[in-house]
Amino acid sequence: MGQETARQAQGLATRLATLSRALTEVDTLSKAERLQLLAAWEYVGARYRTIHALLTASLTQRRRPSGSANDALLTVPEVAAHLRVVPSRVYQLIRAKSLPSVTIGERQVRVRRSAVQAYLERKEQQS
């Protein structure tokens, strides 16, 4: 883990500990303070989900054989990590038919790596 990543993880852990302590006193907070606390929790949660998706994508890429990596099936969190967006944005792109996907079973959505690359190329041409 790089020094910058370690610093960011430490900062998030410190912020989480502060928020945890604040939760024990939530009854004493005003409505505005509670809303502010809720927003902070959502921010920290989103950051942790992003870090988790990046780590998962990194580990998955290392396990994949190099010959099939170009057109491998990616999970939504992996695509989100690659695009540096939240998973809900990836689902929006899939629903809008901007990003082709494959559904495995009833709920498991996968996106081909080549589809992500094609999407990025289309967006670059539009810019």
Over residues 9-35, the pLDDT tens digits come to 777 777 777 767 766 776 777 888 878
Domain stops at, among 63, 85, 102: 63
Q: Print the domain residue range for 6.
A: 1-63
28-85 pLDDT, tens digit per residue, is 778 888 788 778 778 777 777 777 777 777 776 665 555 455 688 999 999 999 999 9
Domain stops at, among 44, 63, 82: 63
Which residue matches tokens 């912020």? 15
Domain count, the chain: 2
H or E segment to which residue 103 belongs: strand 102-104
Is residue 92 scored above 90 in pLDDT?
A: yes
- Judge contact between 111 and 94, C-beta under 8 A: yes
Among 11, 65, 69, 6, smallest CA distance to 40 is for: 11
- The answer, as to whether pTM is greater than 0.85, is no
- Which tokens is 35 given? 């809303």
The pLDDT of residue 30? 81
Domain stops at, among 63, 81, 106: 63
Quick one: average pLDDT of 95-105?
A: 92
Residues in contact with 34: Cβ distance below 8 Å, sequence separation at least 6, in sequence order = 26
